[in-house]
């Protein structure tokens, strides 16, 4: 199945205005034709509806994510998915999307990819010896730069009550590959039409956790993640974990609490893997998840206003 990745996450939320402002402050922009469709630069994004909107598919356990829409390469892939899933479940077309449900009880849909190509380079570091450098006088960081916008929807992490069943569905029915795995927790999975380390991560969890752990968008590089995250914190949003860099996937991360009942991450620079990659297995733990973790410091040298006991006393 030539599935290319996630394209749209549809949420049914209790406080639509707060959720919308959260995503605008995160860096998404509203679609010209729908203020509640919030987009990254490539057109992937989030759709918001009131939680009681009867047109939304149901979700387990009060989960606010009501539908995960994936892109596919072409109409033939859409047909192939319709035939495969039609063997044992209802599949129907809604607004050009093929909609059904996965084996963990989450509504899923597929559409011929609507992502726009992004003719943008990523963050370039002036590493000595590297043939690729920033041109002279191009700055690596601009403190007062304009809004930092996420480039593309990255990945989604589900809590699933029956991990083996959920994994079989994505791998055997939809043709995802396992790229790495946390032992006893779950796999990072990649669809056949993407090289990204993961577009989904499945976590086996008790039934009362059934839902979403986080979703995230890719930014242009670590500087964008950290600069944008710092602005987010300054705007009053609450960081949960980060900024740091994961080991599996190598992506830079910064996780925030959110009004969506799950975490929302900012990420950048995820590894790409093809089908020659051999999955790794590691026990879950902070040491296995973070290569390093950074810490903010407001004051970094003594000077006027330094407390009697020094900055470390703050």
Three-class DSSP category at 278: coil
> Given the complex with another protein, which of 97 and 214 has the nearer CB atom?
214
Q: Are 214 and 253 in contact (CB under 8 A)?
A: no
> Given the complex with another protein, which of 274 and 308 has the nearer CB atom?
308
Q: How far is the CB of 60 from another protein (least distance, A)?
A: 13
> Given the complex with another protein, which of 13 and 174 has the nearer CB atom?
13
Positions that interact with another protein (CB under 8 A):
14-15, 18, 22, 206, 208-209, 211, 213, 233-234, 236-240, 256-259, 261-263, 295-298, 307-310, 312-314
Task: Determine how many CB atoms are found less than 10 A away from the CB of residue 60.
Answer: 17
Q: How far is the CB of 236 from another protein (least distance, A)?
A: 4
User: What CA–CA distance (Å, rounded) separates 121 from 279?
Assistant: 29
Task: Determine how many CB atoms are found less than 10 A away from the CB of residue 162.
Answer: 15
> Given the complex with another protein, which of 135 and 286 has the nearer CB atom?
286
What is the distance in angstroms between the CA of the first residue and the CA of the last residue of the chain?
Answer: 55
Strands 177-183 and 97-101: unpaired
> Given the complex with another protein, which of 87 and 295 has the nearer CB atom?
295
Q: Are 151 and 40 in contact (CB under 8 A)?
A: yes
Residue 28 corresponds to which tokens in the numbers above?
Answer: 């998404």
Q: How far is the CB of 210 from another protein (least distance, A)?
A: 11
Q: How far is the CB of 159 from another protein (least distance, A)?
A: 9
Q: How far is the CB of 184 from another protein (least distance, A)?
A: 17
């Amino acid at each position: 199945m030539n599935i290319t990745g996630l394209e749209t996450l549809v949420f049914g939320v209790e406080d639509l205005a707060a959720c919308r402002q959260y995503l605008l402050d995160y860096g998404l922009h509203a679609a010209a034709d729908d203020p509640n469709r919030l987009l990254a630069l490539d057109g992937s994004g989030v759709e918001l509806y009131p939680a009681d909107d009867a047109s939304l598919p149901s979700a387990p356990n009060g989960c606010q994510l009501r539908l995960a829409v994936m892109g596919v390469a072409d109409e033939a892939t859409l047909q192939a998915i319709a035939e495969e899933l039609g063997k044992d479940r209802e599949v129907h077309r809604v607004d050009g999307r093929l909609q059904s449900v996965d084996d963990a009880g989450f509504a899923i849909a597929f559409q011929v990819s609507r992502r726009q190509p992004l003719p943008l380079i990523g963050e370039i570091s002036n590493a000595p010896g590297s043939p690729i450098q920033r041109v002279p006088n191009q700055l690596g960081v601009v403190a007062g730069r304009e809004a930092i916008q996420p480039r593309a929807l990255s990945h989604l992490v589900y809590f699933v009550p029956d991990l083996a069943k959920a994994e079989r569905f994505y791998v055997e029915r939809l043709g995802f590959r396992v790229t790495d795995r946390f032992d006893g927790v779950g796999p990072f999975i990649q669809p056949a039409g993407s090289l990204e380390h993961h577009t989904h991560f499945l976590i086996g969890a008790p039934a009362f956790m059934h839902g979403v752990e986080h979703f995230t968008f890719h930014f242009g590089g670590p500087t964008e993640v950290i600069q944008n995250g710092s602005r987010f914190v300054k705007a009053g949003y609450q960081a949960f974990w980060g900024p740091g860099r994961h080991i599996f996937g190598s992506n830079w991360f910064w996780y925030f609490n959110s009004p969506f009942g799950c975490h929302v991450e900012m990420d950048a620079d995820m590894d790409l893997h093809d089908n020659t990659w051999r999955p790794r297995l590691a026990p879950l733990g902070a040491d296995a998840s973070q290569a390093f973790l950074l810490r903010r410091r407001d004051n970094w040298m003594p000077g006027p206003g330094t407390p009697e006991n020094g900055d470390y006393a703050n």
